[in-house]
């Protein structure tokens, strides 16, 4: 089985999609897929699909959705040997005490592959191998096909799952940019960071990275304008000032601090804490 959560929901059994078109069975499958190879309680499925107001027939309706999913799985399995899956679709979507379990049969999840590549990138960053880190982070980000679970009408549990995945994606994007800055790719990054800073105007890490990329590209005035824009947005939206790290970075920009130069910042230092 292959499961894809980093974009539209994908669940392929034997190379065939088993994702239903109806929204509620799709929700059930999405939650089972997010927690693949683990028991998902009936209570969790009911909360996800119906929230705080389930119908009286909720148990029967949930069982109907499970049967529909098993029908999709059975169609995908076709004439697969019963020795591999002795109960057929019931071996893939198993009933357990208190809930259901989606058995991947040793298959793959794009979210797990993403985490593995991220760990590789973090190890490379820790060893100051920024080229390897950038490559690993890029490979992790390339797994994304769009916003997490974008085609699922998420309830409270799936909203939390999707949010956690998106936060991880943004964090790794920042780490990849940090690695690229340390490799001297500031000219290449200015355009990307300008777009990201417009999309995430309150994200201090991305704003700091844009400031450094602009400065190293010979655009100190633009870097300082980025700081002033961030300060205005933070004050208007949250009633806050920039963090001490951002204020320190602004001072360094004003003073043309040599610590901002690429040659002097190959290792983490006080002026790079913001990124």
DSSP assignment string, 16-34: EE---SSHHHHHHHHHHHH
The pLDDT of residue 86 is 76
The answer to whether residues 3 and 104 touch, using CB atoms and an 8 Å cutoff, is yes
- How many residues are there in the chain? 275
Helix axes 58-77, 23-34, angle to 10 degrees: 70
Residue 57 tokens read as 């027939």
Q: How confident is the model at residue 78 (pLDDT cuts 50, 70, 90)?
A: confident
The pLDDT of residue 82 is 58
Residue 91 tokens read as 């071996």
Q: If you average pLDDT over residues 102-113, what whole number do you get?
A: 96
Q: How confident is the model at residue 267 (pLDDT cuts 50, 70, 90)?
A: very low
The class (CATH top level) of 185-275 is mainly alpha
What one-character DSSP code corresponds to residue 170? H
The answer to whether residues 214 and 188 touch, using CB atoms and an 8 Å cutoff, is no
Neighbouring residues of 57: CB distance < 8 A, sequence distance ≥ 6: none
More confident residue, 158 or 262: 158
Share of the chain above pLDDT 70, in %: 94
Domain definitions of the chain by residue range: 2-106, 185-275
pLDDT tens digits, one per residue of 31-70 = 999 999 999 999 999 999 999 889 999 999 999 999 999 9
Q: How far apart are CA 17 and CA 9, in angstroms?
A: 10
pLDDT tens digits, one per residue of 187-201 = 999 999 999 999 999
Average pLDDT, the chain: 93
Neighbouring residues of 110: CB distance < 8 A, sequence distance ≥ 6: 3, 4, 5, 6, 10, 143
What one-character DSSP code corresponds to residue 242? P
The pLDDT of residue 67 is 97
Q: How confident is the model at residue 1 (pLDDT cuts 50, 70, 90)?
A: very high
**CATH code assigned to 2-106:** 1.10.10.10
């Amino acid at each position: 089985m292959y499961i894809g959560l980093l974009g539209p929901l994908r669940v392929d059994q034997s190379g065939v999609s088993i994702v239903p078109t109806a929204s509620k069975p799709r929700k059930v499958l999405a939650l089972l897929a997010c927690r693949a190879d683990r028991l998902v309680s009936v209570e969790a499925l009911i909360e996800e699909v119906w929230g705080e107001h389930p119908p009286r027939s909720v148990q029967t309706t949930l069982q109907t959705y499970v049967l529909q999913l098993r029908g999709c799985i059975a169609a995908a399995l076709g004439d697969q040997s019963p020795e591999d899956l002795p109960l057929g679709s019931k071996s893939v979507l198993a009933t357990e005490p208190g809930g259901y379990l989606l058995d991947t049969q040793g298959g793959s999840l794009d979210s797990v592959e993403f985490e593995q590549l991220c760990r590789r990138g973090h190890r490379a960053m820790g060893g100051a191998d920024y080229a390897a880190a950038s490559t690993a982070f890029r490979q992790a980000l390339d797994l994304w096909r769009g916003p997490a679970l974008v085609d699922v009408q998420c309830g409270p549990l799936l909203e939390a799952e999707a949010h956690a995945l998106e936060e991880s994606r943004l964090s790794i994007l920042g780490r990849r940019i940090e690695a690229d800055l340390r490799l001297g790719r500031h000219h290449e990054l200015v355009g990307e960071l300008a777009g990201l800073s417009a999309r995430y105007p309150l994200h201090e890490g991305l704003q700091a990275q844009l400031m450094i990329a602009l400065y190293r590209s010979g655009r100190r005035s633009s870097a300082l304008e980025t700081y002033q824009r961030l300060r205005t947005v933070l004050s208007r939206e949250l009633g806050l000032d920039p963090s001490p790290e951002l204020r320190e970075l602004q001072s360094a920009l004003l003073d043309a601090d040599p610590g901002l130069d690429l040659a002097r910042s190959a290792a983490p230092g006080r002026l790079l804490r913001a990124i």
